[in-house]
Amino acid sequence: MKSKRRHNVSQYIISAAVILIAGLAVFFPENILGVQLLDYNVHIMIGMLLIGFGALTINYSKLMATSLSACMLMCIFLKNASNDTMIMPTANTEAKLSVAHFNVSNIQDLDHLINTLHELDVDLLSFQELTPDWNYILQDKLKKDYPYNMSIVRIDPYGMAMYSKENFASMDTFMFDNKPNLQAELLIDDRKISVLGSYIVPEITKTTTLRTKEHLDKISHRIRDKQSPVIALGDYNMVYWANAISRFRAKAQVIHSRRDVSEDGLKPPYDHIFFTTDMECTKFENINDLQENHIGILGVYQIKAEADTDEMLPTALSSLSY
């Protein structure tokens, strides 16, 4: 009898811990610890799954049910933050734009990067943390295939550039807290598509958390003010299921390009491409170097056909977060 009682007590204690961890991982208040915990929601979800299978082997049925339920909750939470299109849309006859984004501070092999850029052969390239040295290299290596560019060169992490095969219909820069954001407009098949490039400061302190929210609010206002389809990309320095990103997506009415957390393995993804609801993402993938280190992301987008232009609203949990 005592053995059975200890058996039940152990299950209840571990089950309570599982519920607490899962609850914190999904609904944690917005502070620095919560932001750091959110980065590892995938790891926590996998841990819950392993606990459930482990409980099954030792006949802890209550713990098994609790752990697998917690795993399911976190899986729904993560999927809700991703692009909910299960199958990539098929190509249509509307205007298309392919973009690739890189943070040059992650580049260790210049020759591989240049070869990769030529192989990708995208319409628009985005670079961040652009220093004077990198600006000189890119200007020299890309001038033939990408003759049009807009660049802000800085010695801090906020330098950035966009390189295009076609001339920009318009170019603009808007500042936030002395940090630049690029805003370009391209004319493709007589349709305008806007691209916004931004670098968001990591949420390290309460002050940076507040500034991040204000920065995202400013970007969302820019997106909503645009009459044309918009692609927003850059290093946002937080996972796409973070509360700040969920609010940003709801406020700006944008969709995330990633369809599954498995696309990034166990490494938290900090670079993102969002697009407005009048567009579709037909391709998205991570770009790695020869050592399988993450160096960038690639996305291909098209304007929706007229028959598919019904507005897509953010999913329920995103709306609740906003």
Q: Where are the domains of the chain?
A: 2-81, 96-321
CATH architecture, domain defined by 96-321 = 4-Layer Sandwich (3.60)
According to DSSP, the residues that pair with 64 across neighbouring strands are none
Tens digit of each residue's pLDDT (9 = 90 or more) over 6-64 = 667 777 788 888 888 777 777 765 656 666 677 777 778 888 888 888 888 888 888 88
Cα–Cα dist 305/212, whole Å: 35
Residue-level pLDDT at 113: 93
Strand order in the sheet with 179-188: 170-176, 179-188, 191-199, 230-235, 271-276, 254-256
Cα–Cα dist 110/127, whole Å: 14
Residue-level pLDDT at 5: 66
CB atoms within 10 A of CB 90: 8
Which residues, at least 6 apart from 147, have a Cβ–Cβ distance to it below 8 Å?
Answer: 165
Q: Are 239 and 245 in contact (CB under 8 A)?
A: yes
Residue-level pLDDT at 126: 97
Longest Cα separation, the chain: 81
Q: Are 180 and 198 in contact (CB under 8 A)?
A: no
Residue 10 burial by Cβ neighbours in a 10 Å radius (0-12, 13-18, 19+): middle
Residue-level pLDDT at 82: 72
Q: Which residue has the tokens 């501070």?
A: 105
pLDDT average per 10 residues of sequence, the chain (322 residues): 65 81 70 67 83 84 86 80 71 89 92 92 96 94 93 93 94 92 93 95 79 94 92 92 89 89 69 94 92 92 75 41 32
3-state secondary structure of 188: strand
Residue-level pLDDT at 319: 34
Under DSSP, the state recorded for 64 is: H
Q: 3-state secondary structure string, 248-292?
A: HHHHHCEEECCCCHHHHCCCCCCEEEEEECCEEEEEEEEEECCCC
Give the length of the chain: 322
Phi–psi pair at 259, nearest 5 degrees: -100, -15
pTM, full prediction: 0.83
